[in-house]
Chains A and B, each alone.
Chain A
Amino acid sequence: GAVVSQHPSRVICKSGTSVKIECRSLDFQATTMFWYRQFPKQSLMLMATSNEGSKATYEQGVEKDKFLINHASLTLSTLTVTSAHPEDSSFYICSAGQTAGIGYTFGSGTRLTVV
């Protein structure tokens, strides 16, 4: 079945630094990838939709200059949290959509802690 690999699974960084999270589709091509943020005991909140070869579409209230998304190939999308602050600490999850049909495979998530 479709597999999406996300890493790192956990990262601790100092306030003011940047962190890059990778999302790879291992056995299928993903023209569309989604980045979510999830706070404790809450549902997933869509941050942005990433399309291969074009700019990401950000949801209202999500700062595109802070959460940089790059979907450079059909198998890789990256989310970079720039100048991280403690309030950016959260669980970030990616998912990938396939070119044909519908695919909603999720990565295993990244727990970001900014200290």
Chain B
Amino acid sequence: GQQLNQSPQSMFIQEGEDVSMNCTSSSIFNTWLWYKQDPGEGPVLLIALYKAGELTSNGRLTAQFGITRKDSFLNISASIPSDVGIYFCAGQLRDSNYQLIWGAGTKLIIKP
């Protein structure tokens, strides 16, 4: 099925470092969402973006909806051990029944 281009696939960082990941698509999206999934759990919504150009923060997390509606990024500042997990972007196409298109995920690993 259709999928977003999410990168990087994985990241190895030191605690305290900033993290950046992004998703791109050739399609125009109505909504961009960023989720985090811990092992054996369902995804948990981190940030939802509804307007082109929108920049939204949630604690140490910041995400932006690209002005072209075809991309989004997520930044995590000053990473801590509990940030470890897999981060997924998801987009909702215009005129769809809430159906989401998913990125392949970015696995975040924090080096001790």
Contact = CB atoms under 8 A, between A and B. Distances in A.
Interface of A: 4, 6, 32, 34, 42-46, 49, 51, 59-60, 91, 93, 95, 97, 102, 104-109, 111
A85 B36 CA distance: 30
B112 interface: no
A109 B42 contact: yes
Q: How large is the interface on B (under 10, 10 to 19, 20 to 34, 35 or more residues)?
A: 20 to 34
Interface stretch (B55-63, B65-73, B93-101): B93-101
B104 A43 contact: yes
B1 A46 contact: yes
B40 to A, nearest CB: 7
Contact of B92 (A45, A91, A102, A109): A102
Contacts of B99: 34, 46, 49
A4 B33 CA distance: 18
A40 to B, nearest CB: 10
10 contacts: A34-B98, A34-B99, A42-B104, A59-B1, A93-B43, A102-B48, A104-B33, A106-B35, A106-B44, A108-B42
Interface in B1-28: 1, 3
B98 A107 contact: no
Contact of B31 (A6, A59, A102): A102
Contact of A104 (B40, B45, B97, B103): B45
Interface of B: 1, 3, 31, 33, 35, 40-45, 48, 50, 88, 90, 92, 97-100, 102-105
Contacts of A97: 98
Nearest to A1: B45
A104 B48 CA distance: 9
A32 B98 contact: yes
Nearest to B104: A43
A102 B88 contact: no
Given A6-B42, A93-B42, A109-B40, A102 B98 contact: yes
A111 B98 CA distance: 25
